Amino acid sequence: MIIVLSGPSGVGKTTIGKKVLEDEELANVVQRVPTFTTRPPREGEVDGEDYVFVSKTEFAIEMAAGNLLEWVEIFGNFYGTSRKVIEDILKKGFVPMLIIDVRGGAYIKKTFDDVLDIFIMPPSEEVLRRRLQSRGKIAEEDLALRFSISHDEIEEGKRYSHIVVNDVLEDAVEEVKALIKSRLKNKEV
């Protein structure tokens, strides 16, 4: 089984993913797959944990070698999922959790048979806009582009098996945890 958490930029999918892994029961079963990226780290992000930060040249080498299961360019930066990291997590007996955009999520759903796909939805466009603005240091044209892309991502997200609205963070986290625990329980039967 592979878990895919997707949603538009600023919706809180990374925060939800981290909080899910704070659950003692899930921390012993689920392991996050850090995304390779060429963008610079944001404040508080840890290399190798939140993301694997690489240069564009390093990313191109990984891509050319076929080491990336899926990849995408977003806002001039590249993001991708390491095939080897997923394989290593599966070999260790853990369930990989990917926090990726909808295009990457669609590819993962086509590639693997057993995917728990969860789309994190904003409670409203205005809330999403405020969350994006609160990140700071985002140029106005980047903010407008991210907001525009979020409309397409939300439409694509409606194709996910599960949609969780992130209005109250704690409620969204509990809902995602319940979905994962239910799926894990059903797999044991």
20: Cβ contacts below 8 Å, ≥ 6 apart: 26, 30, 97, 173, 176, 177, 180
Chain length of the chain: 189
Highest average pLDDT, of 9-13, 112-116, 132-136, comes from 112-116
Confidence of residue 138 (pLDDT cuts 50, 70, 90): low
> Mean pLDDT over all residues of the chain?
90
Q: Mean per-residue pLDDT for 120-138?
A: 79
pLDDT in tens, 37-94: 999 998 888 898 889 999 999 999 999 999 999 998 887 899 999 999 999 999 999 9
Q: What is the pLDDT of residue 152?
A: 86
Using the 8-state DSSP alphabet, how is residue 7 labeled? -
Angle between helices 140-157 and 125-134 (to 10 degrees): 140
pLDDT at 136 over 70: no
Extract the tokens encoding 110: 């086509």
pTM recorded for the entire structure:
0.89
- How many domains does one find in the chain? 1
**32 burial type by CB count under 10 A (0-12 exposed, 13-18 middle, 19+ buried):** buried
Confidence of residue 178 (pLDDT cuts 50, 70, 90): very high
Using the 8-state DSSP alphabet, how is residue 70 labeled? E
Report the share of the chain in percent with pLDDT over 70: 96
Tell which wins on pLDDT, 163 or 145: 163
pLDDT at 153 over 80: yes
Find the domain containing 162 and state its range: 2-188
Q: Mean per-residue pLDDT for 12-41?
A: 94
Distances (CA, A) of 176 to 3, 93, 146: 10, 21, 24
pLDDT at 135 over 80: no
In this structure, what CATH number is given to the domain that contains residue 170? 3.40.50.300
CA distance 130 to 1: 34
* Closest C-alpha to 112, from 88, 87, 92, 93: 87
Q: What is the pLDDT of residue 186?
A: 86
CA distance 86 to 100: 14
Extract the tokens encoding 115: 């995917």
